[in-house]
Amino acid sequence: MRIRLHSVFVEDQETALRFYTDVLGFVKKTDLPAGAFRWLTVVAPEEPDGTELVLEPSDNPATQAFKKSIYAQGIPASAFAVDDLRAEHARLSASGVRFTMEPTQAGPVMMAVFDDTCGNLIQIYQASGVR
């Protein structure tokens, strides 16, 4: 068993695609029509055959309620690993990304949380000696 897809619910797929590619640096992997929406995925450029992040439409009322609730509680919808958290924080901040939690050490992990402009909080983390 392997994880191949992970969904992040987004308010607007095109806006999400621009943010996740132009700002975060992911690359588009799949973009297919799916009714009123698209089957839209991005991947890390270093891992083109790795786990795909699905930019999933959040038009379902249950999804909207879930997103609003976890956002209000400050809970990230997903987490992405980085090699150098301070450098990534500086790069994203310079691009105008709004952080809700600045780099914070938590035991062997340093983490930060930002707003993805699509209704989600996303955590980035750097683990020291933890996989």
% of the chain at pLDDT higher than 70: 98
**Looking at residues 86-114, what average pLDDT do you find?**
97
Decide if pLDDT at 130 tops 70. Answer: no
Model pLDDT, residue 128: 82
> Which position has the token pair 């997103």?
67
Asked if 98 and 59 count as a contact pair (C-beta separation under 8 A), the reply is: no
Q: What pTM was estimated for this model as a whole?
A: 0.94
Average pLDDT, the chain: 96
**pLDDT tens digits for 16-25?**
999 999 999 9
4, 48, 105, 109 from 1: Cα distances, Å:
9, 19, 32, 27
Report pLDDT digits (tens) over 29-64. Answer: 999 999 999 999 999 999 999 999 999 999 999 999
Reported as a single tens digit per residue, the pLDDT across 56-67 is 999 999 999 999
From residue 16, alpha-carbon distances to 22, 24, 84, 102 in Å are 10, 10, 24, 22
Q: Would you kindly state where each structural domain of the chain is located, as residue ranges?
A: 5-127
Task: Say whether pLDDT at 131 is over 70.
Answer: no
- The answer to whether domain 5-127 has CATH 3.10.180.10 is yes
pLDDT tens digits along 80-98: 999 999 999 999 999 999 9
CB-based contact 46:100 (threshold 8 Å): no
CA atoms of 67 and 73, how far apart (whole Å): 10
